[in-house]
Each structure stands twice: as C-alpha cells, then as structure tokens.
Structure 1
Amino acid sequence: SLYWPHQSHQRVIRTRSLPTSISLPPTSYVPTIPSLSLSSSTTADKLCFTTGLAYDSQMLKHQCVCEDNSRHPEHAGRIQSIWSRLQERELTSQCELISSRKATHEELLSVHSENHVSMFGNKLDNR
C-alpha cells in the first residue's frame, strides 16, 4: 500500500541540467544563513527538526504481484530494513515523525503511469 505524508508538497521536476557556464561566488564567500546563526542563549530544545520521516506498518504490505524482490527493490523487506537501521542509529529521534495516509490518485500519477495506477491503484481503496 502506498502512503503519502499529510503535509502538502510541491512536486519537483528537473527538466534540464545546469547550464554549461554558471556564475559562482568567489571561494572566500561564505553566505550568512540567519536560521543557522545560533546565539549563546539558544538551547537544543528550541531547535526545529529539519528532516521528517513517514512510516506506517501498512507500508510493509507493499509487494509486487510477481513476488520477485530481486527485480523490484521497493518491497516490504527493504522498507523494514531501512526503518530498523534508522532506529539502530537513533536517527528517528532526530527527525520529525510525520503521520501517513493513503496517496491520492493525483499523487500516484505524479510518480506512476496512468496504466500502472489503473492496474494497481484501485487496490488501495480495499485496504
């Protein structure tokens, strides 16, 4: 089953590589990023998460109908392995945990063909 984070997102589409010549600042240039400039009064509990993780045990139902994981890297074992590794390294506590939900038809179309969504997307309503 496919789940999508509750928060809205803007789809990123990359249509072209960088131009062959781009203008870069001198190497001595260091940009000032106000949100990263910490004062001495800033404490760890005032810092915000910069990375979010969406996980739900329902994601473990993600399986290709052919059941050949060697041909399809997106399968339950891979999802569980990644989540376990994140927990082992205590990275989940450093990230914002985001609630999951079923993906909409439009969201599925943003990453899959119409044919794929028509063939497999309807199964999402039955779970």
Structure 2
Amino acid sequence: MSRREVRDSAFKLVFEQLLRDDDIQELYDIAEEIDEITVDDQVKAIVDGTLAHREELDRIVENYSKSRKLARISKLNLAILRIALYESLYDENTPVNAAISEAMVLANTYTYSEDASFINGVLGAFSRDLEKENA
C-alpha cells in the first residue's frame, strides 16, 4: 500500500470513530470484515497515534481556527486536521509540508472547496508557527 492509501484508510477510520464513538478495535474488526478499508500496522499506527493525542490536537485546531469553534468544525474536517497535525508532530518520516499536502489531497477529495480552504488556513498558520519555533 502506498503512503497515500495508508493515510486514506486511516482517515476513514478516524472519521468513523468520530461519528460512532465506538472502540477503535471494533472499527478495525468491522473494516476487516467488510473488506472496504485496509487495516494494517501502518494504518493502525496513524489511527492509534491520532486518537491517543486527540485532546492535544484539538487544542491546536482551536488555537489556529479563527473562524470556527471546535464544535462547529465538521467531523470530516476535524479528522483530516487531526491526522495532519499528528503526522506533523509525531511521525518522524513525514515532513510537515508533506503532511499538509496530503491533508489537502484528502480535503479536496472528501470536502467542499471552502472546507479545503479552511483546512489549508489552519495547517498553514500552524506550520508557520512551528517553523518559527524550530528556527
């Protein structure tokens, strides 16, 4: 599986968990049973990491979302933002720019253009501040 396919599967599972609030292992089992979402160790690493850092990631989203409160952000957008932020902060193999670029691929595939712009704005502001921090 390509990294993009891994990320797409992880996105679908994170989004599903937001919708159903089920135990993630149950969602893994269902995904494997219906064979529509690939679940392997790479997918689980992104999903588990994103869910483990959910509160921190949501605080970052709240901090950089100037136009929407967290409760007003669609679950699709929130899933994309969480994964991109998780990868930016915790995945040593994914540069921040790559995480943002891949988030935009997901946003352009699954959301409206105004939502994609919102996601890009949040991640862009985060990236600029992260760059300043690391300089």
Scaled by the length of structure 1, what TM-score is found? 0.32
| Greater RCO structure (CA 8 Å; 6+ sep) | 1
| Structure that is richer in helix per residue | 2
| Structure that is richer in strand per residue | 1
